Structure 1
Amino acid sequence: MIKAYYTAVNGATSNQNYLDVISNNMANIQTEGFKKSKAEFSDLMYTNIRGPEGENTEMKSGSGSRINKVDVMFNQGAMYSTGGKTDFAIAGDGYFAVQFEEENLYTRGGSFQVTNIDDENYLTYQGGFVLNSEEEPIILENTDDNIDVGVFEFMNNSDLMQAGNNLFRIANEDAEYSLSENSRVMKGFLESSNVDLAEEMVKLIQIQRSFQLNSNVIQTADEIEQTINSLKS
């Protein structure tokens, strides 16, 4: 029973971590340019169990599973028109670059704002400066209809890691990126989240059932252990 207890605990812990991933996806279904996460599971250690003497049988007993990694799914969301003069979407691969005090971060979100600093109007995103194709902060003119918003494409999207607030940072010092030549910037549009609500709801129901099953196993194992201990005394 001790093995069943710990196996169920491992399962319940994995369920909770998976639920966190799903909850974050669902919470950002209305966040422009948001990229959903997908959890990948791996089996924990297996133990070989031999059959009764005289029988040439052997079986494996597992110890549950755990989340091995969480991948970001970078497939593009649908475009929708807003008509906003500072709303932008990327048709194709690539990211907008945003300069903060310590580093440049990257995003697919294009709901930008105009911030006046020292009598200059800057295009900003979450307090950072949106960069142009030369990786310089964008200063807006009163009659500026053609805004040079830079789109930068990475050789490998796995070189990016989530930084929170719909932003990514470079996770690999050897990461290579360049100004995108094939993507198109669409002014007056935003990219929707790539989260599929129906898909996430199905996963949520499955994980709730799995968590309930593991909880029942934990409770049963605990009750049996208590019974055994009471018999010993």
Structure 2
Amino acid sequence: MSFYTSLNGLKNAQSSLGTIAHNIANSETYGFKRGRTEFAEIVAGSALSNPRTIQGIGSSVEAITQNFSLGPIEQTGSALDMAITGDGFFTMRGENGGTLYTRAGSFTINESGGIVDNDGNRLQAYAVDANGEPTSNALQDVQIPVTNAAGAEYAGVTVGSDGVIRASYADGSNEPVGMVALATFMAPNGLKPVGSSNWESTGFSGAASYGEPGNGQYGALLSGSLERSNVDIAEELVGLITAQRNFQANAKAIDTATQISQTVMNLRT
């Protein structure tokens, strides 16, 4: 019994080490959220067992939870680098038509005037009128016209704290082209990480609730800034030492059980 109990402990310690290593590896990844391995005790007993003698048989990995606390904000100066000051997520439409959510607000303009991330996923926004007010709750790709109605060429773009994207043109005019839509979830820990600091919604997270930047829990936008990883290297190194000691202790328990078994087998009648 002690072999399997300690073997479970080794596997759990290995899972903890893997999670910490993943956190450390992404300490410089924009929009990354650190994970934490949580364990649960395993006990074995029946309805007829004496509750005072029920024996524990180890532990198991109960969950690897994500910590969605706000990471440090780094100023970059690029208008399409955006950080969220609240709980919101940027919404993107993937190449396959799927919906992705991210906190990494590093966007650029592609050759057709769309606002995309480094993988080509398109930022989603609300359509707006000439005053920058949303005209619909439907989400759509942001599209910046190459020229305005007067024929003037595109000159630049700005994003306000209210999420309104305004394109400027060579004739000095500024035209709103959309308002960044932010999503929140009832249980963000239920989001499924899919890589590149992106998540997908699941039944555990619940459906996304969409809103405007600067409104309630969604948070305002900081243009010219990016949210860094919320990994604390010092904290992770302490956790790494703890997980290593846990692994060593379980390995020692297996070694001790082996010695006891060997002693029993060597008994002579």
Q: Same fold (TM over 0.5)?
A: yes
Q: Give the equivalent residue in structure 1 for 2:141.
A: 137
Q: Give the equivalent residue in structure 1 for 2:183.
A: 152
Q: Which protein is richer in helix relative to its size?
A: 1
Q: Give the equivalent residue in structure 2 for 1:16.
A: 14
In structure 2, give the amino acid aligned to 1:88. M
Are residues 179 and 198 of structure 1, via their aligned partners in 2, closer, same or farther at CA, if it must alter by over 3 Å?
Answer: same
In structure 2, give the amino acid aligned to 1:103. G
Secondary structure, aligned partner of 1:65: strand
| Contact map agreement 1:154 1:178 (CA 8 A) in 2 | no
Q: Is there any run of 5+ residues in structure 1 with no aligned partner, and where?
A: 49-56
Q: Give the equivalent residue in structure 2 for 1:165.
A: 196
Secondary structure, aligned partner of 1:130: strand
Deviation sequence 1:159-178 (CA, Å, 0-9, x none): 42212221110102852412
Identity over aligned residues, as a percent?
32
In structure 1, give the amino acid aligned to 2:141. P
| Greater CA drift, 143-152 or 159-168 | 143-152
In structure 1, give the amino acid aligned to 2:90. F
Size of the alignment, in residue pairs? 220
- Listed as ranges, the matches of 1:71-220 within 5 Å are 71-100=65-94, 101-116=96-111, 120-125=112-117, 126-133=119-126, 134-141=138-145, 142-143=154-155, 144-146=157-159, 147=165, 148-172=179-203, 175-180=207-212, 181-182=215-216, 183-220=219-256
| Contact map agreement 2:30 2:104 (CA 8 A) in 1 | yes
| Contact map agreement 1:156 1:175 (CA 8 A) in 2 | no
Question: Please, what TM-score do these two structures have when normalized by structure 2?
Answer: 0.74
Q: Give the equivalent residue in structure 2 for 1:53.
A: none
Secondary structure, aligned partner of 2:125: coil
Question: Please, what TM-score do these two structures have when normalized by structure 1?
Answer: 0.85
Distance between the aligned counterparts of 1:11 and 1:127, measured in 2? 42
| Contact map agreement 2:114 2:141 (CA 8 A) in 1 | yes
**Aligned Cα RMSD in Å?**
2.4
Deviation sequence 1:62-93 (CA, Å, 0-9, x none): 21111111211111112121101221101111
Are residues 69 and 124 of structure 1, via their aligned partners in 2, closer, same or farther at CA, if it must alter by over 3 Å?
Answer: same
Q: Give the equivalent residue in structure 1 for 2:38.
A: 40
Distance between the aligned counterparts of 1:176 and 1:83, measured in 2? 30
Distance between the aligned counterparts of 2:97 and 2:250, measured in 1? 44
